[in-house]
Structure 1
């Protein structure tokens, strides 16, 4: 039985912070979104673009969020008001992001739990059958049951607090997750198949070899924008999570070193996810197997596992266990951000706010589950993609609010407060911030422009600009 604390608590040290922050960063976005985008946007070309953006934009946004949290010792809701009273509204905008994400993240976690259970109790061939995923998510009971199991586990970890809950479980889950991902990636590299024409097919080239076939300025810019949007998923920036986690970091922790470790861990897992998924899908299903996010994970991969024969069940169990761990650590960080903010708003204990946020998460997640049957509808988003209820929540939080929040944050830090405010926090204990000049240039000049372009893209301006 864990004991909770009502007031501000923190991580025990640098390792606890890095593992918890990496756990937040490494989520289903790394494992189901990164490989799909990598295959879609030129393989090694997307990978190269993404690495450049991580070392520039990623480090800038991550450093900003963590530094704001540690220096103000406030969660996102109050941190911006502490920085500048007229910018308090930015904290409320930031609060909206996890509020929206929490409506559907446990639903996706429930999908993962369902598939893990299928492979655990059977040979998993039913998961590879046509229509299995659709029949599951459109049923009215089963998705809710598995969502409840995932949400209950998430709430328990958050209820236990920062050190006894989030940090403790991250210390166990993250090393296991890393080992599982490495194991499947190594296995995936051993796969090959000779087709009917006698050609031996391997899939690693699809990940690391740049593909310039049919490359145009528009397709390259789309790849850059896809890589930029992936940063939000991967690093948990501009959603209040890293500000909240930063507020739990002790003053003697080297932020520059810790942030660098988070970048390496997160990017490494994303790359390993690509090795884990792309070669196996190419070998067994070809290029057509790299469908969009949910289809790749819940339709294409089960078919790959079925094609492996007897070993496919074992690979399926390990894969969905790893994906489940990734989803859990990310969902915990989202819920923790909501709980921490609500503790400040309502001046209640962690126990009471966990209960309140838990009820909110339950009601909204059930609504999202019913969005595939009872509340089903379709509409076209401003960026041109078709959507239903879950997609709408995802679009508003990740494609609309997060670029907008990053834009406003870069203006606040770059031009109102000044980059030196963040740099001083990073160098608080005499540590050298080697990328200080890069940080200043990025925050003042580069981030505002790119975030404006990304925001306009999410509103449909990009499609309008390139309309024939």
Structure 2
């Protein structure tokens, strides 16, 4: 039985800004640049763009249409699409439930670096093992995580229109201005370098731009390409917030007169532009001061490599560093809000309780869970080999299960449901309910019926280490 959801977006602008806020988060600014650097620069960009225009469009359209048509969050929405498919809603619910155990921790790390630049202690951040020493300490990461979690909870507590929409309308335009500003600045940088041979060269931001956008096909094998594809798809899930219930929840708040087709295109543009600009502001600047080697820092790219780059910039670097981490803070906050909102919306429907009560209870639960994951770097430290070949501890395990394992599985099952059980017309009818023209209707049909199930099955097998 349907329950009437309280609150909703006031209009298309508020919805697009909120959805873009979820999409344009720390996944774009933190995760996208290091994956691009790891996977051959322009090669990763090409694969990611192709996925956004095909898989991203298909999955995003499906999630939003399911949410708006059922007016329910993911935990019940799939059961409304087709009787007997409620299990998919429960699987989907697990993804934000896992992500929420570590998202506020990353937000706490970002908060730490804001404090460093505010207190004029940025030189400390360039010391060897500074980041490692910080995340393995027992008090500071927990305190900062609790602060970040509290801010997230207050915004969700205020509701959809007064909290999430109002925050997104203010923050999203500002984020783009800052990203564009730093990206342009990074292209103007130059640095004299003495090679081991004694020869002096000058590396520029434009040289870094070439490394970023020109595909590197050297040593490319089928296995390596599949890994690039898996990384790009994992980033797509994380970035567009698909296959985790977030966009179904946001779709349930969307009014029937909103043009979903247009909204999907706008979210795609916001997300892809933010991801590209994030790489543009980070990769050229790191290349200028650290070369190609500096881009191998992996997930620690913005916490280890970038502070060293800002330090090389002198006084300007202190200002740029502060502005950068403030921007990343708000990007992380917008994403964390969407994850918590999804959990709150689902629990409101599950337990038939008020938003305020659910928000407080979930906040306390996730504060405790995040403390445990924080202590995974010291008190509860251990390493385990993951099926995809990487090693990690608590935070990495949560990230692997949610992003690399569950999201491809959910997308596979969802594609089967939409493509073969209820049929693509179920979604297409919702997108075109007010007579709107669905320009990519043919692409949607082909993707959801034939291509998405096959690719998702291959990626799922890849994620569990079958090949």
State whether residues 426 and 433 of structure 1, in contact with CA within 8 Å, keep that contact through their aligned partners in structure 2: yes
State whether residues 378 and 386 of structure 1, in contact with CA within 8 Å, keep that contact through their aligned partners in structure 2: yes
For 1:326 and 1:388, the matched residues in 2 are separated by 25
Q: Which residue of 1 aligns with 2:426?
A: 421
CA deviation profile, 1:63-101 (whole Å, cap 9, x unmatched): 000000000000001100111121000000000000000
State whether residues 383 and 391 of structure 2, in contact with CA within 8 Å, keep that contact through their aligned partners in structure 1: yes
Q: Which residue of 1 aligns with 2:51?
A: 53
Q: Which residue of 2 aligns with 1:191?
A: 189
Query: What is the 5 A alignment of 1:283-432?
Result: 283-432=288-437
For 1:221 and 1:293, the matched residues in 2 are separated by 19
Q: Which residue of 2 aligns with 1:78?
A: 76
Gaps of 5+ in 1: 1-5, 463-468
State whether residues 35 and 277 of structure 1, in contact with CA within 8 Å, keep that contact through their aligned partners in structure 2: yes
Which secondary structure state, in structure 2, belongs to the residue aligned with residue 86 of structure 1?
A: coil
For 1:216 and 1:388, the matched residues in 2 are separated by 29
Q: Which residue of 2 aligns with 1:98?
A: 96
Q: Which residue of 2 aligns with 1:3?
A: none
Deviation, 1:7, is: 4.3
For 2:99 and 2:380, the matched residues in 1 are separated by 19
For 1:358 and 1:392, the matched residues in 2 are separated by 22
CA deviation profile, 1:172-208 (whole Å, cap 9, x unmatched): 1111111111111011010122322232213111111
Which secondary structure state, in structure 2, belongs to the residue aligned with residue 201 of structure 1?
A: strand
For 1:292 and 1:8, the matched residues in 2 are separated by 44
Deviation, 1:113, is: 0.3
> CA separation of 1:226/1:294 partners in 2, compared to 1, >3 Å: closer, same or farther?
closer
State whether residues 7 and 349 of structure 1, in contact with CA within 8 Å, keep that contact through their aligned partners in structure 2: no
State whether residues 95 and 244 of structure 2, in contact with CA within 8 Å, keep that contact through their aligned partners in structure 1: yes
Query: What is the 5 A alignment of 1:112-123?
Result: 112-123=110-121
Q: Which residue of 2 aligns with 1:436?
A: 441
Q: Which residue of 2 aligns with 1:212?
A: 217
State whether residues 38 and 296 of structure 2, in contact with CA within 8 Å, keep that contact through their aligned partners in structure 1: no
For 2:57 and 2:173, the matched residues in 1 are separated by 23
TM (norm. structure 1) is 0.96
Deviation, 1:218, is: 2.4
Which secondary structure state, in structure 1, belongs to the residue aligned with residue 227 of structure 2?
A: helix
For 2:65 and 2:281, the matched residues in 1 are separated by 34
For 1:102 and 1:425, the matched residues in 2 are separated by 31
For 1:414 and 1:68, the matched residues in 2 are separated by 13
Which secondary structure state, in structure 1, belongs to the residue aligned with residue 218 of structure 2?
A: coil
State whether residues 38 and 298 of structure 2, in contact with CA within 8 Å, keep that contact through their aligned partners in structure 1: no
CA deviation profile, 1:84-123 (whole Å, cap 9, x unmatched): 1210000000000000000000000000001111111114
For 1:293 and 1:80, the matched residues in 2 are separated by 36
Which structure 1 residue ranges, 4+ long, deviate > 3 Å from structure 2? none
Deviation, 1:29, is: 1.3
Deviation, 1:170, is: 0.4
State whether residues 291 and 300 of structure 1, in contact with CA within 8 Å, keep that contact through their aligned partners in structure 2: no
Which secondary structure state, in structure 2, belongs to the residue aligned with residue 199 of structure 1?
A: strand
Q: Which residue of 1 aligns with 2:203?
A: 201
TM (norm. structure 2) is 0.96
Gaps of 5+ in 2: none
State whether residues 32 and 293 of structure 1, in contact with CA within 8 Å, keep that contact through their aligned partners in structure 2: no
CA deviation profile, 1:260-306 (whole Å, cap 9, x unmatched): 00000000000000100000111101111113443211111111111
Calculate the aligned-residue CA RMSD, in Å: 1.1
Q: Which residue of 2 aligns with 1:144?
A: 142
> What count of residue pairs does the alignment treat as equivalent?
457
